[in-house]
Amino acid sequence: MDGRVWISEPVRQVQDLYGALVGPTGLARTRFEQVQVLADRLADGHRGRHPGAYVELVNWNASVVGLRPEELWERRLDRSDFVLAIGRARGYDDLDQIVADEVSPSAAYENAVDTMLAGDVDGLQSLLDDDGSLTTQVSHWPHRATLLHYATANGVEIHRQVVPRNLPTIVALLVDRGADVNASAHAYGSEVAPLGLLLSSSHPHDAGVTGEVAAVLREAGAR
């Protein structure tokens, strides 16, 4: 547990699994390339019985949901199992949607997500001063998450499901700067808004901020 950010052990395990692959180096890859790179690492993690691989697979691949670690390690998985898990964490519904393309991440948007999740209010405010459109911009991933969606620690990449302890202040800042509290993202096979994701996420609850953040969203008209 960090001083400024609450991170659950499963999330830490996934962060350890992917390491620098999900950092700034990922900005150089198209989304298809990044899926393939992360699927390789996930496959290696499965072979090596890495705890983070267990977390990823049982969360994002329906064929192994409910398996205990030892059962998962003994299960024969093929390339498609790893690609599907990576894809579903990013808003793809099935393998047919994961096609080679040239869509690349926005460095400015990715920086804003990371700055927000680090609990750096001053840094985030400075980024929004420079580019106010960041509050309504969406991820290049098919889940189309806005900053508010990422703030809920749900429905997006597990390594980013962390909770700044000052999340109520951060969400209030985003709302004040024009974020749409009812913006739609695609997660778990359906369209979802920030409030629903927040209320169904264990991370903000465990960090003790769900009530305050929900109040900010509701006051702004979230439903």
Local mean pLDDT, 10-residue blocks, the chain (223 residues): 85 98 95 97 98 98 97 98 97 93 94 98 98 98 98 98 98 98 97 98 98 98 97
Instruction: Give phi and psi for 149, each to the nearest 5.
Output: -65, -45
Is residue 65 exposed (0-12), middle (13-18) or buried (19+ Cβ within 10 Å)?
Answer: exposed
Question: Model's pTM, two decimal places?
Answer: 0.96
Domain boundaries along the sequence of the chain: 5-97, 107-219
Task: Supply the CATH classification number for the domain 107-219.
Answer: 1.25.40.20
Q: What is the pLDDT of residues 61-105, one digit of tens each?
A: 999 999 999 999 999 999 999 999 999 999 999 999 998 888 999
